[in-house]
Amino acid sequence: MRTFDIPEYFKSPIISRVKARRKALDARKLDFSPSILDFGAVRIQLARHFGFCFGVENAIEISYKAIFENTDKRIFLLSQMIHNPEVNEDLLSRGVKFLMDTSGREITPMSEVRSDDVVIIPAFGTTLETEAILNDIGVDVKKYDTTCPFVERVWKRSSQLGDDDFTVVIHGKPTHEETRATFSHASKRGSALIVSDREEAEILAEIMMGKRSKDEFSKIFSGRTSEGFDIETDLEKIGVVNQTTMIASETQEIAEILKTASTKFANTRDTLCYATNDNQRATLGALEDGSADLVIVVGGYNSSNTTHIVELCEEHKPTFFIRNELEWEENGSLNHFNIDTKRRDNYSDFLQGRPSNLPEKPTILITSGASCPDASMERVLLKILEKFPDAKDVESVLNNWES
């Protein structure tokens, strides 16, 4: 697989060694059990797969290339390049500015963009409407387009469905940049509809089979259908694609639900992202091990793929979602992001003095989403080890583990 040139400060010598060892032992990715590092006072499990995926590394490489090649120009990111605060904050520190926020609201008016400005398209891609505006201004939108190849694959499949008169049902978060972009591309070639979860899919299926009133359709899916969508004809032939960071199994469940209600259904299983699949399977593989006492998930709080990993973990173990090691306060408490309330909850004395609800030698599973730098994971690992002063040093543990 191709390697990318990304800044060294996003890398981790510790995590790199673990990943390299696992790859050497399991090149075909058949083993989804976690890597276990025994530090004596605490055992650390690292999920088999986590961290930057192909699409993220590609986006980072292109973005920093744009900065280094255009020191005399204004550089804009269409929106967050990926959903990780450390990466975006570093780009901002280098003079890059945002045109929009993650919901598509303007931060820098498009009217201020000039033809000689550099505009970086994020890994999520963008809508055809936004692309048209930039083209009209005269911006070369293709030069620094970091759209993930796996997102583009979804667009291609959507176009094929549209050309064959199938309605494209998109499983995704309606306000997410990638879902908005996929909806835009799909709507160009035919009818399209966004379904956010299994519950909505079940309602849609019942409407299609006449078990619910068609009036419910407009109430639930208002603003999420292509122009001129006709419920009488546009649901006869359907195919399901997904926002590539959703839970893969949920997309398949949604497809099966709608398949039973449709007259003709297209098989679109090939739109699932490999990295999302690998990370989720690795998370489940680690949880099936059963020995972890708690889980720490590291990543951006607005990262869809990371949030879904948190959801999977919360079903099995006490789970703490943190942006990075800075979520530990000086007093030892930890700020955990609650994905239900969208607020940070503070836990006092987290891992201080071996809490009574943990065994004498706890096992902690650490993982992250596809947009989290390995360097963040390393710093979290080292922060945890600080809570166990009797823990063995990292180098000796790695040497023993690799032997």
β-pairing, 43-46 vs 35-38, is: antiparallel
**Token code pair at residue 86:** 């450390």
Active-site residue, from 177, 178, 311, 378: 178
**178 is an active site residue:** yes
**Token code pair at residue 60:** 């980072």
Cβ atoms < 10 Å from Cβ of 158:
26
Catalytic sites, residue numbers: 178
